[in-house]
Amino acid sequence: NPKNLTEQNHSVIAHIPHLFTTFQTESTNMDSIRERITSEAEQCRDQLPQKFMELDEFLRPKMEQALSANMNLSVSESSSNDEMAQLFNRTRQELAFAISSFGVLETWLKLCIPKEEDGNNFGVAIVLHAIKIVVESKKELSDLLKELPTYYKERGDAAVKISKKSSSSKTETKKNTEKDGSAAEAESSVVVEQKEVSDAVHPDLVKAVETIDSVWFLRLCNTCNQIRTNYAAVLDYLSKNEDKISSPKGSGGGGMSMF
């Protein structure tokens, strides 16, 4: 029916301004998201060189200690190893920061991918490779973070075997007393005595705890070194390919420059 077709056309035409406004709003929202992600990525990228240098300074004496004949990691029967606890906490903090930073860079790089077109995809391949480097670095560090609780489990299982044991004994005494010629009443008192029993600890058990600390000292240092290495690798690739990443399709491309 020609009349119905005309009404349908009028209806479609009437919705065009609304659709155009919707596209404009979505485009504006996406621009805001891109600006925010780019700003966050720029902050992360600016922080990484300083984080690299801080780790380098932190690791230098640690690695010298690790390579020495005697690492001097004292073992206490009643507490955890303070030096190891400090190294553990520092490593955990460095891992958390690096994983978070690489996550921001990953999001930014994904938004650098332009719309798909035929030909001239060399720049796009570089962006995709940058994403691959960042994602692999983040996964590697995430896996290392998951391993950290193993230290306290291993050490706890070994340390409990050299810790002092405590025992208690209870003594009860009774005596009869008479009051005003009445029947004797029994009074009792209880004395509880707490004692720490320190049996002879086999030297190998102490050595087992020391060895766990030594092994994990090296592992934590290597973890920090791996964070430093990943910082260098990511920063190096981004700086060498900043033109292609910011403009994957050339001057008319759809990149998001923060360089």
Do 189 and 172 meet the contact criterion of CB atoms below 8 Å apart?
Answer: yes
Answer whether CATH 2.40.50.180 is correct for domain 30-69+80-168+199-246: no
How far apart are the C-alpha atoms of 73 and 209, rounded to whole Å? 10
Tens digits of residue pLDDT in 3-19: 454 555 555 445 555 55
Give buried/exposed letters for 228-251 (b at 16+ CB in 10 A, else e). bebbeebeebbeebeebbbbbbee
Tell whether pTM > 0.75.
no
* pLDDT for the residue 9: 53
Q: Would you kindly state where each structural domain of the chain is located, as residue ranges?
A: 30-69+80-168+199-246
* pLDDT for the residue 162: 82
Low-confidence ranges of the chain (pLDDT < 70): 1-27, 69-78, 118-122, 164-200, 249-259
* pLDDT for the residue 64: 86
